[in-house]
Chain A
Amino acid sequence: DVKVTQSSRYLVKRTGEKVFLECVQDMDHENMFWYRQDPGLGLRLIYFSYDVKMKEKGDIPEGYSVSREKKERFSLILESASTNQTSMYLCASSPTPTGGLQYFGPGTRLTVL
C-alpha cells in the first residue's frame, strides 16, 4: 500500500515565523506535489518536484519555497508565515508517467495567528 505521510496533522504558528512542513512517501515515486486546500477554491498547486533537487512552481508559489534533497522527502517552507497562509496543506506523490493518479497524505491544518 502506498503511503504518504505528513509530519503534523495540526500546526499553530505566529505571524513571521518560519514554518517547515514535511512529507515522506514510501513508493519511490519521482513526482511529489504540495497543494493547499481552501473551501470553494479546491486544490491549488503550490510547487511540485519531478526529481531530486528539481522543482517547478505551481499556480500559487508566492510566499513558499520547497526542498527535495532525497527522493522520498519533499518539504514545504513558509519563510515568514502570514495569516493568509492559514489553510489545509496536502502533499501528494505520483509515478512517471502519472496517468492522473496521485497519492495524497492526510494533510496538515496550519493556523497562523
Chain B
Amino acid sequence: QQQVKQSPQSLIVQKGGISIINCAYENTAFDYFPWYQQFPGKGPALLIAIRPDVSEKKEGRFTISFNKSAKQFSLHIMDSQPGDSATYFCAAILEYGNKLVFGAGTILRVKS
C-alpha cells in the first residue's frame, strides 16, 4: 500500500528552468514531510522538510509548497542546474514516529 504517491517518475528540465515534483499522501496523521536527494552511487540525504502548519518553506533555490486540505505537497527547484540532476524522494512521517514512508522517487535530469 503506497501511502505517498509521487509524480512524475522522471523529469528533464533545461538549465535555468523550474523543476516541479509533486506528492500526495493519504494518512492525515502524517506530521512531517521531508524531501531527500540522492546522487548516483550515494545514499539519499535530507534536502528540505516542512510541517503541515506551514504552507511554504524556502531554502535557497529549493521550495516546498504544502496544501493540507488537498493532502498534497510539491518541491520546486528554481534556476535548475546540471548539478541538481539526481533522484528526489518525498516522504512523510507520523508525529513521534520513527518510520519514514517514501514516495517512488523522481529522476531529474537538468540539461545544460
Q: Residues on A close to B: CB < 8 A?
A: 4, 31, 33, 40-45, 48, 50, 58, 90, 92, 94, 96-107
Contacts and interface: CB of A to CB of B under 8 A. Distances in A.
Interface SS of chain B:
loop
Contacts, number: 60
Given A40-B104, A98-B100, A101-B46, 16 more contacts: A40-B105, A41-B104, A42-B102, A45-B99, A92-B43, A94-B98, A98-B97, A99-B32, A100-B32, A100-B91, A102-B46, A104-B44, A104-B45, A106-B43, A107-B41, A107-B42
Nearest to A107: B43
Contact of B103 (A42, A92, A105): A42
Contacts of B104: 40-42
Contacts of A102: 46, 100
B68 to A, nearest CB: 17
Interface of B: 6, 9, 32-34, 41-46, 49, 89, 91, 93, 96-100, 102-105
B98 A90 contact: no
Q: Across the A-B interface, give the 6 residue pairs with the lowest CB-CB distance, nearest first.
A: A104-B43, A42-B104, A43-B102, A100-B32, A100-B34, A42-B102
